[in-house]
Structure 1
Amino acid sequence: MTATRPVVEMSAITVEFSGVRVLDDVDLTLYPGEVHALMGENGAGKSTLIGALAGTVPIRSGEVRIEGEERTPAGVARSRAEGIATVFQETHLSPHLTVAENVMIGNEVRGTFGIDWKANRARAAEVLARLGLDDLDPRSPLSALSPAVKQLVAVARALVLEPRVLILDEPTSSLDAAEVHTLLRVVRGLRDHGVAVLFVSHFIEQVFDVADRMTVLRGGRFVGEFPADELDRAELISKMIGEDIDALKALRSERLAHHYCASGEPTLRASELGRRGTLDPTDIELSRGEIVGLAGLNGSGRSELARLMGGAERADSGEIWMDGVRVQLRSPGAALRRRVALSTENLRDEGIIRGLTARENIVLALQAMRGWSRPLSAGERAGLVETYLDTLHLSPDDIDRPVEELSGGTQQKVLLARLLATRPHVLILDEPTRGIDIGAKLDIQRRVARLAGEGVAVVFISSQMEEVVRLSDRIVVLKDREKIGELSNGPGVTVDTIVEMIAADLDGESEELFGHDCDTGLVSVKQFTLNCSR
């Protein structure tokens, strides 16, 4: 801590939405020259507290002081004038404007005859260079950029203000490792120049890498404030979720004890399934009661394979059999009628239906399967929702709220409930835990494990490979849009095992893809051989 006088003091903050108290008597203190992490699971109140400081959320009671002066109710413009800049998880950029226009919007350099476009581009380039984007043309249309670069453009727009307080809400969720390194370097530089940085992230390692202090929230209430170097990772997680981190280890042990080995006709078998420019022809089998993990880096083809199996994309090669019968899954609806349910990685655009309540989202797929001429009765809808309130730990207070107002973890649970309502034989989950807190992750992973125990064939995809290793009975590894191998999970399988498979030299003369024996777990991936037996 480099200063004794705080730049921001929030005391006893209480916020209510539609009569529901989402923040209850919460404190937050930010000092110049430090990075303060705001921690908690989804639904803990982090985004609401950020909104209260940024001026986007009205406060029911409590006090906010900026540089010792009490602030009256304020909007975004007032917050910016006070030197508070915010980069929200949703970037709110304008896709039809250029990079420079997005960076400088509201802060344009003006000359005698209006906006000085040349000066604006120069200023934008200067700020972008601080984020390692010195090779990005400020005249480029924003729509041409990747989601990760767009995120950095949003950060650049905040830095133009030369803020005293910079709020970063999940700023690294779409960044790769190099981009994360650059952003954290910029955060440290801002701290060293006296800026107070409020950092919100579910990536715990990043938090410990950059934070000086932490405030933990749980269920909308203040748990405590802690120096980062006095709190270890297990203690932090326990404070966030209210249970011991050993629960995650127990889940891994339970899955290893499961020791599944397929027998009989697979419930889904794909042969030479592929799509030009997307995925090379691929074979895969799924059996009831089995969790098959798809592992690989971004662009490996794991999501593309999931979409082909789930009917979200049409294959131009290969065949699919369900329980020995050849089928055509030309759409998600066709797949659902065959009891194949797909949750894509794009939750907001292809998952939840904005404008509907959580309750309406849950019953949607089952109603679509039955047809709109046979509407679910009120009793059927109520019974369906009541089932998943309990099994997925959904809050009754959330069920009749618009789904877009709910936390990311709750939205994922709502989507999972919708799919489970169709009673799928095959459940394909692409990034079901991305961007959510560890408590919600644990709930979802436990439910996935139970589904397998109930006989569902599950495909599980996660960019966090430790999740794939923790849950899967079998792991299919992809690289550069092709399947490069497969292994039976066991105590000898780790994240490093998969990374080594991906990094292995697959050029030159070698045997065909793999041979897999369920009893021994012996896997041969071209020239790369592993013994992964239990």
Structure 2
Amino acid sequence: MEIQMTNIHKQFAANQVLKGVHFNLKAGEVHSLMGENGAGKSTLMNILTGLLKTDQGKITIDGKETVFANPKDAENHRISFIHQELITWPEMTVLENMFMGKEMTKYGIFCNQQAMEEKAEAVLKQLGIQIDLNDSMGKLSIGQQQLIEIAKILMNEASVIIMDEPTAALTDKEIVTLFSIIRKLKQKGVAIVYISHRLKEIFEISDRITVMRDGISIMTRDIKETQEKEIVSAMVGRDIGDYYPSERSKIGRTLLEVNDLTVNGLFKDITFTLKQGEILGVSGLMGAGRTEIMSAIFGLHPLERGTIAINDKVIQISSPLQAIKNGIGYVTENRKEEGLILDFSIKDNIGITALDEFSEHGFIHNKEEEDFVQLLIERLAIKTGSMHLPVSSLSGGNQQKVVLAKWIAAGTQILILDEPTRGVDIGAKREIYLLMRELTDRGVGIIMVSSDLPEIIGVSDRVLVIHEGQVNGCLTQEELSEERIMTLATGGK
């Protein structure tokens, strides 16, 4: 199957999202699509798969002009889209999620449970995943849910697969497995649109690349004829220099001291400190317990034993509200479900943690709040037409910036960031890193959980490595290397 998209335009109200994009896809190739958040990548793919209608331009498939009525129509024509923000039914089983709307039947009436289990197990084995099909989807990690979505597409035998940030929540081992599957699919003639902000992956898996900026396709090249610098320059329209800030903040006194934290079945005997001006990286394989430890510090898991001290004072944290009152902020990995109120405006999402600062006798001073929110919007370069638009109108990267702005507004002194740049473009990543350093310059202590080893090494002052729910080592900045981190993450010494 070959696809040609020519002169595609799309406008939402006064916002011109696509301004004449050209994109073509050949059978048996991986064509990467890159661009900053808000460049129009997802909009372009939503037009291809029938979720949105183009205002101008045409789509031809194997030489025939085609318009799909909806994503289901596109799927029926063997074009599937794995979205960055997963669409799952958390209370239903893994098996039920995999066959939702595509149940295999017996006698045309009854669900053929055995046939569905055999088909699901075969594709999971192909992916190298061991997941109980009877577990509820909500029990799985985001990375495991992502693999289930990929498995669903493989069962459909698609001719074209669109992958939007497919590795954002995967471990290194899972990424190797995914790339092996992609190469096998290529050999079968399957075409793949690969949307990612990870340059290393782009060069490893792609045949061609198209870069978009501000709703325009800037360049299309064979990956072998392209350099990393050229891609970055095309994406951002400027040279952003090194990704990671070279300056380090002055390390001060101890802000947070955690001793022997234990939650049965999740982690045990967790002990570490966080100092003023420090970025403490937390690394480890998926399922090691990194997120669970951070959730417990924020009051989301009741502790079996252990103590948390802030500024040398032992405190009890049994709820997020208590954590916030003690100066702890938490940017969760799942921003849409846990970090944002999607129907609320950008202003309300940012200002919600700081209402006391703008209130007097129960009344909110709107002008003061709006001025403060506008300052944060400008400082974090949040791309929006108005602070009064719903936060759901923003791209994924800009939503992440809103979550960060919310905790900055709260005057947080201890900031926990769980995968802070997941699904965020190169330019926005650097802005987030610079912002983190600005915060540490003011004495804020930051704990950053990340699966991106270059990020962990490039940003952290120290790195805590978790293996199977326990601290297996703590590396200073001078000791950091990918090999040392992975040795500790896999149980070595």
Alignment of 1:345-364 (within 5 A): 345-364=333-352
Work out the CA distance in 2 between the residues paired with 1:221 and 1:439: 17
By how many angstroms is 1:172 displaced?
A: 2.6
Over the matched positions of the two proteins, sequence identity in percent amounts to 33
CA contact (8 A) 1:168 1:198 kept: yes
Task: Give TM-score scaled by structure 2 length.
Answer: 0.89
Provide the C-alpha distance between the structure 1 equivalents of 2:28 and 2:21, rounded to a whole number of angstroms.
23
> How many Å apart are 1:335 and its aligned residue?
2.0
Mapped partners of 1:139, 1:478: distance in 2: 28
Determine the C-alpha separation between the residues in 2 that align with 1:160 and 1:219: 35
Alignment match of 2:48 (pick from 22, 44, 53): 53
Alignment of 1:312 with 2:308, yes or no, is no
Number of residue equivalences: 492
SS in 2 for 1:150: helix
Gaps of 5+ in 2: none
Amino acid in the other structure paired with 1:254: E
- How big is each residue's C-alpha offset from its partner over 1:258-288, in whole Å with a ceiling of 9 and x where there is no partner? 4x3435xx33333334333333233333332
Is contact 2:285-2:490 (8 Å) kept?
no
Give, in whole Å, the separation in 1 of the partners of 2:422 and 2:448: 12
3-state SS of 1:246 partner: coil
The 3 A distance-change label for structure 1 pair 416 and 204 is: same
Residue 375 of structure 2 corresponds to 387
Q: Which moved more, 1:384-393 or 1:64-73?
A: 64-73
Q: Structure 2 counterpart of 1:237, which letter?
A: V
Question: Which stretch shows the higher mean deviation, 197-206 or 224-233?
Answer: 197-206
Q: Larger RCO: Structure 1 or Structure 2 (Cα < 8 Å, ≥ 6 residues apart)?
A: 2
The offset of 1:446, in angstroms, is 0.5
Give, in whole Å, the separation in 2 of the partners of 1:140 and 1:310. Answer: 27
Inter-partner Cα distance in structure 2 for 1:478 and 1:137? 25
Q: Say which of 458, 466, 469 aligns to 2:454.
A: 466
Return the index of the structure with the highest Cα Rg: 1
**Is the Cα contact below 8 Å between 1:290 and 1:456 reproduced in 2?**
yes
1:286 aligns with 2:279: no
Q: Is the 8 A contact 1:398 1:406 kept in 2?
A: no
Tell me, yes or no, if structure 1 residue 262 matches structure 2 residue 252.
yes
Counterpart of 2:238 (choices 243, 249, 253) is 243
| Aligned pairs (5 A) from 1:395-434 | 395-397=383-385, 399-434=387-422
Which stretch of the first structure deviates more once superposed, 465-474 or 146-155? 146-155
- For residue 344 of structure 2, give the secondary structure of its aligned residue in structure 1: coil
- Summarize the Cα distance change of 1:336–1:144 in structure 2 as closer, same or farther, 3 Å threshold: closer
TM-score (norm 1): 0.83
Separation in 2, partners of 1:305, 1:78: 43
Corresponding residue SS for 1:313: coil
- Structure-2 separation of matches of 1:122 and 1:13: 42
Deviations 1:366-389 (A, max 9, x none): 127888963431112211211112
Q: CA deviation at 1:357?
A: 1.8
- Given that 2:90 and 2:136 are in contact with CA atoms closer than 8 Å, whether structure 1 keeps it comes out as yes
DSSP-derived class of the 2:471 partner:
strand
Partner SS, residue 254 of structure 1: coil
Q: Which residue of 2 aligns with 1:151?
A: 146
Q: Deviations over 1:428-456 (max 9, x none)?
A: 22221122222221111100001111222
What SS class does the counterpart of residue 309 from structure 2 fall into? strand
1:36 aligns with 2:23: no
1:475 pairs with 2:448? no
Change (3 A) 1:476 1:93: closer
Indicate conservation of the 8 Å contact 1:100/1:125, yes or no.
no
Distance, in Å, in 2 between the alignment partners of 1:44 and 1:505 is 43
**Where does the alignment leave 5 or more consecutive residues of structure 1 unmatched?**
1-5, 507-534
Give the CA deviation at 1:422. Answer: 1.3
Per-residue CA deviation, residues 13-48 of structure 1 (Å, 9 max, x unaligned), is 111223312222111111112111111222221111
- 2:451 is paired with a residue whose SS is coil
The aligned runs of 1:63-462 (5 Å cut-off) are: 63-72=58-67, 74-95=69-90, 99=94, 101-108=96-103, 113-114=108-109, 117=112, 119-132=115-128, 142=137, 146-244=141-239, 246-248=241-243, 251=245, 253-255=246-248, 258=249, 260-263=250-253, 266-367=254-355, 374-397=362-385, 399-462=387-450
Determine which of 474, 483, 486 is the counterpart of 1:496: 483
**Using the alignment, how far apart are the partners of 1:278 and 1:105 within structure 2?**
31
Q: How does 1:1-40 map to 2 (within 5 A)?
A: 7-40=2-35
Is this contact kept in 2: 1:84–1:163, CA < 8 A?
yes
Taking the aligned partners of 2:334 and 2:22, their CA distance within structure 1 comes to: 34
Q: Is the 8 A contact 1:108 1:115 kept in 2?
A: no
Measured after TM superposition, the shift of residue 64 of structure 1 is 1.3
Q: Do the aligned residues in 2 keep the contact of 1:319 with 1:326 (CA within 8 Å)?
A: yes
